[in-house]
């Protein structure tokens, strides 16, 4: 996709969109199943400008919105760091370049010597569990593929993106990278542990975007109570804790049953189908809450789910906390009541706009 202002000759611009984990998360990190969708509400955009100097192989990065290095005061520095953290997006793009170079070198894929400058921007709210970090990497990967005229099979791209984040010490699973690479709506099966460990991928099935009911996104503009979402669940699972293993398997089964409900076209009414999906969303969150505990999840995160549920809507985390996906099985009146309750509690509510899979996929 060409840069639309024409200011930079040969500029390449790509976007990667935020995602919602609809059913099954966090079992993707525990050899389970998930269903995720790509959404157009938020995105990261990366622009790569080939070096215009003949024979120049120079590579550089423009600081983005989270990479400020100059501040008006010490207080401004502290406020920016508290909101955005110590690290920005440039480190993600640098990690990507290293991994991309290694991938091509290992496979003897030739790369031309023309350098480039990379920049990024993003409107994905921070700390909302909408995969802001991986979106920058995915958009950057698409720019590199176009710049070097290299093809990496779609099924291999999520593992490469995940490797970039793990190089930086970011705790993550495959789900987010799969949906951001594939886009649309995807059901993912990671239950073959041996295959996932050996190949770095699960089994993925595209679902039609039309199978999803109307959804809403609830999030906090300035999340200040994110909790310690990962808690000790991973360690307990690895130790073989029976309670965690049993509950995580049930979370994975939620995704299996949700896929069946989404794809059912006969034998059920639309109203019954919505109630089934709503029940599964609530079950997903309740299992997660039972495993992680309220202290780990954080009061604000819990309120993002319990506030919509107070008017009969269904809700669960989109990721590890910071935002919730909401389904209103009773329709518009319930959605209006949900919006009023959430906005009164200080949350932002927006209708979800699904980003479709590429037509050629």
Positions marked catalytic: 176
What distances in angstroms separate CA 145 from CA 53, 96, 213, 284, one per listed residue? 21, 12, 35, 37
Backbone φ and ψ for 208, nearest 5 degrees, come out as -70, 140
| 3-state SS track over 82-116 | HHHCCCCCHHHHHHHHHHHHHHHHHCCCCCCCCCE
Among 123, 149, 119, smallest CA distance to 14 is for 119
Please list the alpha-helical segments (H only) found in the chain.
Answer: 74-84, 90-106, 132-148, 157-167, 174-182, 193-199, 233-238, 242-263, 270-292, 294-297, 299-309, 332-344
Among 87, 88, 45, 83, smallest CA distance to 65 is for 88
Cβ atoms of residues 41 and 132 within 8 Å? no
Number of H helices, E strands in the chain: 12, 10
Give the chain's radius of gyration (CA, Å). 21
Q: Bridge partners of 39?
A: 354
Cβ atoms of residues 36 and 259 within 8 Å? no
Among 83, 345, 24, smallest CA distance to 207 is for 24
Q: 203-207 and 216-219 as β-strands: parallel, antiparallel, unpaired? A: unpaired
Cβ atoms of residues 178 and 158 within 8 Å? yes
SS3 of 55, please? coil
Cβ atoms of residues 167 and 98 within 8 Å? yes
């Amino acid at each position: 996709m060409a840069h639309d202002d024409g200011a930079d000759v040969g500029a390449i611009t790509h976007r990667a969109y935020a995602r919602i984990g609809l059913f099954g998360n966090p079992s993707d990190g525990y050899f389970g199943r998930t269903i995720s969708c790509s959404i157009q509400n938020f995105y990261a955009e990366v622009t790569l400008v080939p070096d215009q100097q003949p024979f120049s192989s120079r590579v550089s990065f423009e600081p983005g919105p989270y990479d400020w290095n100059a501040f008006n005061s010490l207080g401004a520095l502290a406020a920016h760091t508290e909101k955005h953290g110590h690290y920005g997006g440039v480190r993600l793009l640098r990690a990507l370049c290293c991994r991309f170079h290694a991938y091509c070198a290992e496979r003897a894929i030739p790369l031309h010597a023309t350098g480039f400058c990379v920049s990024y921007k993003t409107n994905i709210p921070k700390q909302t569990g909408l995969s802001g970090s991986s979106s920058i990497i995915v958009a950057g990967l698409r720019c590199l593929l176009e710049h070097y005229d290299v093809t990496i099979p779609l099924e291999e791209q999520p593992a490469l993106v995940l490797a970039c984040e793990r190089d930086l010490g970011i705790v993550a699973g495959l789900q987010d990278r799969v949906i951001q690479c594939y886009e649309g709506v995807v059901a993912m099966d990671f239950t073959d542990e041996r295959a996932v460990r050996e190949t770095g991928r699960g089994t993925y099935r595209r679902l039609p975007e039309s199978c999803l009911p109307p959804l809403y996104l609830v999030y906090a503009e300035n999340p200040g109570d994110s909790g310690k979402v990962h808690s000790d669940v991973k360690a307990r699972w690895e130790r073989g804790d029976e309670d965690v293993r049993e509950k995580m398997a049930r979370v994975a089964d939620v995704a299996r049953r949700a896929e069946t409900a989404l794809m059912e076209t006969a034998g059920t009414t639309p109203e019954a189908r919505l109630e089934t999906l709503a029940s599964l969303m609530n079950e997903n969150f309740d299992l997660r809450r039972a495993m992680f505990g309220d202290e780990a999840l954080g009061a604000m995160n819990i309120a993002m789910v319990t506030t919509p549920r107070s008017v009969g809507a269904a809700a669960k985390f989109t990721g590890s906390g910071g935002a919730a996906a909401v389904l209103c099985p009773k329709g518009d009146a319930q959605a209006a009541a949900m919006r009023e309750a959430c906005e009164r509690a200080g949350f932002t509510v927006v209708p979800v706009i699904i980003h479709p899979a590429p037509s050629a996929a």
